């Protein structure tokens, strides 16, 4: 464990000195049509728009494509991205990019299209490196083509992170690829695109953003910058997520959630995530459980496991989130924080178990989750195989 902490300390020192690229931010209702200007300035001849068939069916891309037509920007649409995108999705998108001689990429959608687009760009420029070979830290050698992100969920923060998560259906694993080169040039936070998000996707993606903020904050690698962003994200999520769950057309609350997701992304891209994500990624890889849903269900259990080690930080986050005062004891505040997370889940009708989970898979899930978390994730306190299995057992239907 000391070796893990030494590794994390090194990563923390590096993250303080290395400048992380940050996208330029466009915000406000209808801002998606401003993206064309930025692409025009870059002089791109044809862009690949990476999205999914649901968003195509909802005609959500119409404003974007109309603005491209108006600015005479040519585009090809690749809409075959699946939730929890696969290596095949990346390779298919790469073929379409090359066939149509594109020279830029616009991701339009949730984390799945954004991550798939990142890796299409990485594969286009690094043809000798497979997705599997780029797994891990800083293995995208040649920069991706000019890249732009339009998130349509307020959750993953992929529009600002150095991360892409791709599923390998052969091994049922999620591959995490981490590189500065995966950050887009511009991120478009347009609340109008999120108005039609179904309730269960609003809630689960919102809880993903909250998990990013919490894991970045209670881990050992927080800095002033990441803690500030995690605090702001937590406050915004506490104030807006349930509101927008009940009234999806509340544009102000949608804007606040989009910002919260972005801030949480800024926090975790530097300070990492923790066991919630390590376990959730494996629920996604093995059973295809949506990422935010897995996080929402797992989060209270990991917080309870870490409650003592993270007491002081959970207490500060409770105060920052507006649910406590500094005159109260840390124990009281940290318990209230965990209770708040549970209440949010309950108020948004979140299940408490993972219906696909099988007892016989638990040892493998725990083994893979710990292999993902150690040594990179600066968790408040370490978990061993049997503790992880016991925690996962609580999620059995
Ligand atoms: N790169 C990162 O930093 C990062 C961080 C966290 C998670 N992830 C990854 O992101 C993926 C999950 O992304 P997600 O949670 O955003 O979900 P998603 O992109 O898989 O979308 C979920 C569903 O919501 C639909 N949808 C999206 N926007 C909509 C809208 N505005 N209106 C109606 N329907 C809409 C999609 O069509 C899809 O069916 C996972 O693969 C996860 O591992 C990446
Ligand atoms: Fe996440």
Q: What is the pLDDT of residue 11?
A: 83
Q: Which ligand has its closest atom nearest to the C-alpha of 257?
A: 1
Lowest-confidence segment of 14-18, 63-67, 157-161, 278-282 by average pLDDT: 14-18
**Is the pLDDT score of 5 beyond 90?**
no
Strand residues in 153-269 grouped as ranges (E): 163-168, 173-178, 186-189
CATH fourth-level superfamily of 199-393: Dehydroquinate synthase-like - alpha domain (1.20.1090.10)
> Nearest 5°: phi and psi at 80?
-100, 15
The number of helix segments (H) and strand segments (E) in the chain equals: 16, 9
Q: Which residues line ligand 1 (CB under 6 A)?
A: 52, 54-55, 58, 83-84, 109-112, 115, 152-153, 155-158, 161, 163-165, 193-194, 196-197, 201, 205, 208, 284, 291-292
Identify which of 54, 159, 198, 251 to mutate to test ligand 1's pocket (most ligand atoms within 8 A of the CB): 54
Average pLDDT score over residue span 278-288: 94
**Is the pLDDT score of 298 beyond 90?**
yes
**Is the pLDDT score of 216 beyond 90?**
yes
Q: What is the pLDDT of residue 230?
A: 98
Look at residues 187, 176, 180, 111 and name the one whose alpha carbon lies nearest to residue 147.
187
- What is the tens place of the pLDDT at every residue in 147-201? 999 999 999 999 999 999 999 999 988 899 999 999 999 999 999 999 999 999 9
Q: What is the pLDDT of residue 104?
A: 98
Number of other residues whose CB lies within 10 A of the CB of residue 132: 14
Altogether, the residues listed in the chain come to a count of 397
| β-strand partners of 86 | 167
Q: Quickly tell me which residue has 């003592």 as its tokens.
A: 308
Average pLDDT score over residue span 241-267: 98
The answer to whether 31-189 and 199-393 have equal CATH topology is no
Six token digits for residue 172: 């049922």
Using a pLDDT cut of 90, give the percent of the chain over it: 93
The dotted CATH code for 31-189 is 3.40.50.1970
Contact 12, 44 (CB under 8 A): no
Q: How confident is the model at residue 45 (pLDDT cuts 50, 70, 90)?
A: confident
Atom of ligand 1 nearest to the CA of 195: 31
Lowest-confidence segment of 10-19, 165-174, 178-187, 303-312 by average pLDDT: 10-19
* Distance, CA of 197 to CA of 370 (rounded, Å): 33
Look at residues 64, 57, 130 and name the one whose alpha carbon lies nearest to residue 94.
130
DSSP-derived letter for residue 30 is: T
Number of other residues whose CB lies within 10 A of the CB of residue 176: 19
* Distance, CA of 117 to CA of 184 (rounded, Å): 10
Handedness of CA 224, 229, 230, 231 (dihedral sign): positive
Domain ranges in the chain? 31-189, 199-393
Q: How confident is the model at residue 139 (pLDDT cuts 50, 70, 90)?
A: very high
Number of other residues whose CB lies within 10 A of the CB of residue 397: 10
Average pLDDT score over residue span 18-23: 88
DSSP element (H, E) containing 307: none
Contact 294, 354 (CB under 8 A): yes
Identify which of 23, 53, 83 to mutate to test ligand 1's pocket (most ligand atoms within 8 A of the CB): 83
How buried is residue 367: exposed, middle or buried, by Cβ count under 10 Å (0-12/13-18/19+)? middle
**Is the pLDDT score of 325 beyond 90?**
yes
- What is the tens place of the pLDDT at every residue in 55-90? 999 999 999 999 999 999 999 999 999 999 999 999
Q: Which residues have CB less than 5 Å away from ligand 2 (the ion)? A: 208
Q: What is the pLDDT of residue 13?
A: 81
Q: What is the pLDDT of residue 187?
A: 98
Lowest-confidence segment of 7-16, 47-56, 89-98, 265-274 by average pLDDT: 7-16
**Is the pLDDT score of 18 beyond 90?**
no
Sequence-distant (6+) residues with CB within 8 A of 176 are: 135, 136, 163, 164, 165, 281, 372
Average pLDDT score over residue span 264-291: 95
**Is the pLDDT score of 17 beyond 90?**
no
Q: Is 75 helix (H, G, I), strand (E, B) or coil?
A: strand
Q: How confident is the model at residue 101 (pLDDT cuts 50, 70, 90)?
A: very high
* Distance, CA of 118 to CA of 243 (rounded, Å): 32
Q: What is the residue with the minimal CA distance to atom 37 of ligand 1?
A: 54
Interhelix angle for 311-320 vs 330-347, to 10°? 60
């Amino acid at each position: 464990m000391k070796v893990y902490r030494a590794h994390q300390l090194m990563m923390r020192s590096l993250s303080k000195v290395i400048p992380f690229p940050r996208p330029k931010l466009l915000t406000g209702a209808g801002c998606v049509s401003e993206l064309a200007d930025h692409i025009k300035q870059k002089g791109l001849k044809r862009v690949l728009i990476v999205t999914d068939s649901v968003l195509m069916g909802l005609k959500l891309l119409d404003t974007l494509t109309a603005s491209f037509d108006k600015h005479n920007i040519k585009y090809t649409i690749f809409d075959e991205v699946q939730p929890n995108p696969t290596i095949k999705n990346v390779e298919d998108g790469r073929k379409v990019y090359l066939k149509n001689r594109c020279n830029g990429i616009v991701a339009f959608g949730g984390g799945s299209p954004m991550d798939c687009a990142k890796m299409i760009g990485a594969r286009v420029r690094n043809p000798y490196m497979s997705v599997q070979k780029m797994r891990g830290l800083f293995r995208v050698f040649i920069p991706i083509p000019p890249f732009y992100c339009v998130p349509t969920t307020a959750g993953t923060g992929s529009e600002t992170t150095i991360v892409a998560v791709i599923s390998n259906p052969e091994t049922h694993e999620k591959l995490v690829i981490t590189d500065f080169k995966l950050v887009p040039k511009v991120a478009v936070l347009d609340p109008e695109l999120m108005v039609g998000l179904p309730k269960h996707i609003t809630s689960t993606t919102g809880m993903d953003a909250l998990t990013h903020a919490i894991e970045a904050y209670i881990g050992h690698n927080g800095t002033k910058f990441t803690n500030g962003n995690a605090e702001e994200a937590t406050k915004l999520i506490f104030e807006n997520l349930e509101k927008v769950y009940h009234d999806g057309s509340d544009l102000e609350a949608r804007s606040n959630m989009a910002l919260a997701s972005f801030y949480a992304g800024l926090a975790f891209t530097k300070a990492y995530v923790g066991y919630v994500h390590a376990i959730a990624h494996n629920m996604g890889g093995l059973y295809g459980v949506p990422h935010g849903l897995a996080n929402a269900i797992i989060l209270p259990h990991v917080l309870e496991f870490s409650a003592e080690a993270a007491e002081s930080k959970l207490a500060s986050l409770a105060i920052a989130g507006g649910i406590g005062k500094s005159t109260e004891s840390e124990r009281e505040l940290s318990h209230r924080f965990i209770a708040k997370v549970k209440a949010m889940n309950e108020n948004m009708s979140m299940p408490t178990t993972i219906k696909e989970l099988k007892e016989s898979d638990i040892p493998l899930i725990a083994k893979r989750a710990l292999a993902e978390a150690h040594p990179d994730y600066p968790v408040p306190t370490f978990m061993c195989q049997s503790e992880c299995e016991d925690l996962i057992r609580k999620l059995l239907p």
